[in-house]
Amino acid sequence: MQTIQAIDYAAIAPPVLLALAAIAVLFADAFLPPWRRAAVGYGALAGVLVTLAATALLAADVVGDGAGQPRRTFCLPGDGTPACSYVVDEFTVLVQLVMLVAAVVVVLIALAEVRDTRLPAGEFHFLLLAALAGALALAAARDLITLVVCLEVVSLPVFALAALRRYDGRSSEAGLKMFLVSVVSTAVMLFGISLVYGTTGAMHLERISAALAQPSAIATAARPVAAVGVVLVLVGFGFKISAVPFHFWAPDTYRGSPIAVAAFLSVVSKMAGFAGLVLVLVVGFAPYATVWGPLLAVLAAASMTAGNLVALRQRSAVRLLAWSSIAQAGYILAPLGAAAGLGGRAPRELVAATIGYLAIYAVMNIGAFAVVGFAGRDADLDDYRGLVHTHPLISVALAFFLACLAGLPPGLAGLFAKIVVFRATVSAGYGWLAVLMAVNTVIGLYYYLAWASRLFTPPTADAVAEPRVAVARPVAVAIGVAAAGTVLLSVVPQLVLGISPG
């Protein structure tokens, strides 16, 4: 009997490469002379790009010409239901590729921000790459222990990143709020996991699904306990994705963090949380869709409504994007919430709608944060007034990103995403949720267009004329990368639509 497993190093290459890059960046910062430490940021960028190339090669192998097979490793021996802790399929590589593209933009934003605010470059990029490594591993996790560990690997470095600007009281408050909320959410999730394990006797998602699908596998008295465990696990993920009513940490944390960290939280961290949520629901808790489906529908309705209504009153660009991110979480959750309308299991088209919207949201939202990285963390919406006269390309790019978030042409990527989500929700028989989505889309149009209109409005007569500010080259490249990705998904949205975990 073989006691030593063979490890598929190609499958685990993306998070391993990032972990090695994080260690290299930290050592480089320790030994480089101070006047050369700007190279640390470019080293982090090189690490992300190398990982992106490796993930693209892995995607070509997994997806192939349609005949590719998932790569599994860290598997338990034995026959019957598969029990692997790490699986790379088309869902995994899609999530990893989108997160890495977003990470390229985040690192580019950070290059200028670290230099201008004198943040410790080595610690900043080490923590950023460590959190990103956890996010990549989470997309491939297939057991509850690995999921929780990966979530904490994402969360713990971000606490420090949010509070890294030690001389800023708002930054310390941001880190403390996120830390407290994350501790509570993790405790709730662990309690839910203990209930699920106690009733099913399994930790791997496939085996949990098999146990929940067989009434004889769980005692009648224990089925409500399993349902409570499922709900508590979802509550834990609700904190991670900042869905209402677990959202209260997000606006202040975004506002107090460096722009690069806020962008990471809004896109990479949120995408990692959604990836874990989708895996838990679709692979593990699918037989209990009638339990978690209505709960997610309520969370979706509350998130999109509260997020959009509060966003109407925001004057800070960062806080507006924070509340917009909460509202967008509601749209992403809507197809999953509608799964209960189809009698139990979440159909592939509903899951694919959620994943497609999530991928498109990540690319267009990271672009908006890239522009905010140019304007500054403290910029109000009125500070963007007349920007087209001084920086026409940046103004056009921001208007394009806002049109995508609103679902308006020429932002076809956002329009396609909303159509797919609407169609999936209606097909599942949740017409009331689709109507609420339509109403909230109209509300969102107002504040997105109000921001975009300021770009092309002349400054007020009493405004103080300021000299033209040069755009830092890394920020300009970041905006260009995000714009290119959004245009690509506007032309060929099928790249991210129709994919669900196997």
Whether residue 217 is contained in a domain is answered as: yes
Task: Identify the pLDDT of residue 248.
Answer: 82
Tokens representing residue 174 in the block: 């941001």
pLDDT at 266 over 80: yes
Task: Identify the pLDDT of residue 1.
Answer: 44
Whether residue 5 is contained in a domain is answered as: no
Rg (CA), the chain: 22
Tokens representing residue 297 in the block: 């529908």
Section 307-320 average pLDDT = 91
Query: pLDDT band for position 68 (50/70/90)?
Result: low
Whether residue 324 is contained in a domain is answered as: yes
Classify 201 as helix, strand or coil. coil
Task: Identify the pLDDT of residue 257.
Answer: 86
- CB contact set of 253 (below 8 Å; sequence gap of 6+): 162, 174, 175, 177, 178, 262, 265
pLDDT at 19 over 60: yes
Section 24-39 average pLDDT = 78
In total, the chain counts a number of residues equal to: 502
pLDDT at 347 over 70: no
pLDDT at 424 over 70: yes
Whether residue 4 is contained in a domain is answered as: no
Whether residue 255 is contained in a domain is answered as: yes
Predicted confidence (pLDDT) per residue in 189-245, tens digit: 999 999 999 888 889 898 898 888 887 666 666 788 888 999 999 988 988 888 888
Whether residue 6 is contained in a domain is answered as: no
Backbone phi, psi, residue 459, to 5°: -60, 155
pLDDT at 346 over 80: no
Identify the burial level of 224 via C-beta atoms within 10 angstroms of its C-beta, where 0-12 means exposed, 13-18 middle and 19 or more buried.
Answer: exposed
Tell me how far apart the alpha carbons of residues 493 and 354 are, in angstroms, rounded to a whole number. Answer: 14
Predicted confidence (pLDDT) per residue in 435-491, tens digit: 999 999 999 999 999 999 988 888 765 554 454 566 778 889 999 999 999 999 988
Section 97-112 average pLDDT = 93
Count of helices and strands (H, E) across the chain: 19, 2
Least confident segment among 50-59, 137-146, 175-184, 467-476: 467-476
Give the structural domain span for 326.
Answer: 13-495
Helical (H) or strand (E) element with 88:
strand 84-88
Q: How many domains does the chain have?
A: 1
Peptide bond preceding 335: is omega within 30 degrees of 0, i.e. cis?
Answer: no
- Global pTM value: 0.92
Tell me how far apart the alpha carbons of residues 343 and 457 are, in angstroms, rounded to a whole number. Answer: 51
CA geometry: angle 486, 15, 269, nearest 5 deg: 50
Whether residue 501 is contained in a domain is answered as: no
Distance of CA 409 to the CA centre of its chain: 24
Whether residue 49 is contained in a domain is answered as: yes
